[in-house]
Structure 1
């Protein structure tokens, strides 16, 4: 009689009966490689999520196996919103994977940026033409930055900034002269529409052209005059391509050295720098021979040229022609759209809060359209305008984060030990929207920034006091914005002049934001409707 045998369902039992079914060598090699890769990825992800030194820091678990979701937000320029949501979920400290930490605590941020002054992440270096001659903005070398900062600080000091005032006034006057001509062509008191975003971007570049390259880029003139010199008309586009290529190179390491970088922006700027070097050397030669050399132009470019020529050949610190070329282009990167964008966002906030805008108008006397543009040293004291600007900078910081990295030694943040060579981002936007520091953070509330004395005349007694330790629109520490004073003067000047001459109304109802190098609009358009104030009052 046959014996009934139960099938052996265990793995080893099946292996004994059908060994060929489990033979790896009988499968295609590619399939074995796929299995091996999946097993390795699972192990690496598990180790990163649960065994890494940062495993006690909260954060989304799935990013330990793939960073594609985070990369998607980065490529689209919407990572700022993604980071905001993660801060809301995990608190002031969280991690993306094991090598990227985000922090929004004010004390921890000051520790990173000021006390420890951690170096910038390598992403900044990818934006430079050559890390060896990088300027202050893109260098990741702390010592190199310190020497460059020490060298350039006098060019952004109060007294030197006053020497730049005529260039700022001249460029701003051209913008408002163009507005006045449009009003006159329309019959005087009619309401006109301007693309403020484009106009202010052109103004900012003209100001930088005057101060950093010694010429106006003439972009404001090109807005209305088809016969204007259009030599620099594409400079914003070329600068954007230059930055785009730099960002792509960062994600294509180690193959970036084989990638060709778009350097067309240098074809426009290098001749200006080279010409100033030649002029200065010729002027010095005349003076050395006892002749009348004439006065040099007092701007940032001349400051850099003089510093370069004054350096001794044997001196350790170098500032060559190439250094000056690269530093001037970096001034365009750091100062081109940052100020103009912030002015746009401040006006957007005011237009969304008409009560605040009306209150601001009450503090600014109307001016005729042909009134001379006042310099920043002659502007009247306007505490409410200043408060509106500060609140705008709180809600719309120039950048949503500042990337730093730990060095060869670990550092401790909020009780957590961060390993060496780990990226740590200071989440400025999350800091500025933290209800811990800013009650009703999504409310545009300029009165927070008013002093007790100003609240007696302007109101706002119910507003909470601004937490200035949690207010970092220009960063903080040794790498804060060196041009912050100049940017502040420019914002006050432009906003005061615009609001003194025109009543503004909203046209754009909704706008979308993107974050790449800076915080910007998804589409380069923000239209406003303006009516002359003097005509309105008549």
Structure 2
């Protein structure tokens, strides 16, 4: 964001008494210190600030314009239902550019964003969704078929394997062969480059993004990304030469798409959207599934209720399975208590806007905080307790429960992710009896731009069902 916009925000704050408006208060801690706190102690930082400054407060982070953290449901409703033309959202996602590229849907705005979103929506909804049911169940069964009684395993590693194979098959129509084996390994290794708060800091602090050779953190990341690019561009070249119009995978859909002028996507645009789909459709799902297994087995009463519901399944109707009420409640509570993303995509105002009692000048970045909304005790009593029953007792609005964001930036893969999550859990719990290898509480920690279990969720196989 240009310095002129930042100056507009500062001037607006200083002159609020003259204009009759009000701008949120916030900490005066230096920008770099707030950034470090947000990276290494995100829960403490957020919870302390919301207690001191309320559910709409000003924050400052390195690499971003002055922004406002919002955890007020009414304010979020006003934000999500406002005309999307009043905001820029892609510019707030530049932190993702090294991972997904300049041509990613996540970095787009306006008509270009709307066009690309319409193109990518159909494969994740309706009839196409049902075709993924057998795929998810078969890949899950295949992945866990070698589990042995008494052996322990990493829940996150297994869930990563399943979710990556599912998204590879959905995107490319295949997940086997030398190219895709290399892609699986490299993609996991690339994301593992940011598997701790310390290594994640390189994404937030531009000064750390220096290639000091293959042994440096950024250097390793760049080399992994280059190897992935070579595999993706190789697949793109082969697909273009084949020109098989009968293929139904997402990549083929993207390659056949044309804009108003009859132009298709370039290789670079294809590559960036493929990376976006792989990142968004793999990492988040794997983390959520690992959390789900943890909470189900951390709470014996939850596990027993869920198993009792699953015992009544007499059908392979995936739609019916996905509607099981307690299964849905368990998945929703998992997404509530420790959401994978703690903020929705930010909205940067193009024009001044009034929300509740506040006047925000153009250039203000508004950042709805999913974590803080999900931990409001007035909405979720005992917010730090895992209680699926809360989702059976009442319906939460899209401004109170928003694990997939909202408005025109809500995740296009939401239905697919929930569908996959439910089918994977049903298949695992129906085939094996599991337990946590230890009962120590596990807290969330930063993993790149997402949040995952701070320590590995180790499970032990107790028996077959």
Whether TM exceeds 0.5 here: the answer is yes
Change (3 A) 1:530 1:415: same
Give per-residue Cα distances to partners, 1:386-445, cap 9 Å, x unaligned.
111111111122211124243331112221111211221101111111122222222222
Instruction: Name stretches of at least 5 consecutive residues in structure 2 with no aligned partner.
Output: 1-6, 213-217
Larger deviation, residues 333-342 vs 500-509: 500-509
1:175 match: 143
1:302 match: 252
2:97 match: 128
Give per-residue Cα distances to partners, 1:7-49, cap 9 Å, x unaligned.
xxxxxxxxxxxxxxxxxxxxxxxxxxxxxxxxxxxxx9xx889
Change (3 A) 1:131 1:442: closer
**2:465 matches 1:513:** no
1:342 match: 288
**2:122 matches 1:154:** yes
1:234 match: 186
Aligned-CA RMSD value: 3.7
**2:417 matches 1:487:** yes
In the aligned structure 2, how far is the partner of 1:245 from the partner of 1:483?
A: 27
2:301 match: 355
- Selected match of 1:197 from 149, 156, 172: 156
Q: Quick check: which has more Rg, 1 or 2?
A: 1
1:209 match: 168
1:113 match: 80
Aligned-residue offset at 1:81: 3.3
Within 5 Å, give how 1:58-73 maps onto structure 2. Answer: 58-60=25-27, 62-63=28-29, 66-73=30-37
Cα contact 1:110–1:476 (8 A) shared by 2 = no
Aligned-residue offset at 1:375: 7.3
User: For 1:208, what is the secondary structure of its paired residue?
Assistant: helix
2:331 match: 389
In the aligned structure 1, how far is the partner of 2:152 from the partner of 2:463?
A: 12
In the aligned structure 2, how far is the partner of 1:320 from the partner of 1:480?
A: 26
**2:224 matches 1:264:** yes
Cα contact 1:156–1:482 (8 A) shared by 2 = yes
Change (3 A) 1:400 1:441: same
Cα contact 1:375–1:493 (8 A) shared by 2 = no
Cα contact 2:436–2:457 (8 A) shared by 1 = no
**2:24 matches 1:57:** yes
* Higher RCO (C-alpha under 8 Å, 6+ residues apart): 2
Instruction: Name stretches of at least 5 consecutive residues in structure 1 with no aligned partner.
Output: 1-43, 184-189, 220-227, 285-294, 368-372, 451-462
Cα contact 2:75–2:356 (8 A) shared by 1 = yes
**2:71 matches 1:141:** no
Cα contact 1:205–1:217 (8 A) shared by 2 = no
**2:27 matches 1:85:** no
Change (3 A) 1:268 1:121: closer
In the aligned structure 2, how far is the partner of 1:256 from the partner of 1:432?
A: 37
Counting matched residue pairs gives 436
User: For 1:401, what is the secondary structure of its paired residue?
Assistant: coil
In the aligned structure 1, how far is the partner of 2:443 from the partner of 2:322?
A: 34
User: For 1:505, what is the secondary structure of its paired residue?
Assistant: strand
**2:448 matches 1:532:** no
Aligned-residue offset at 1:326: 0.8
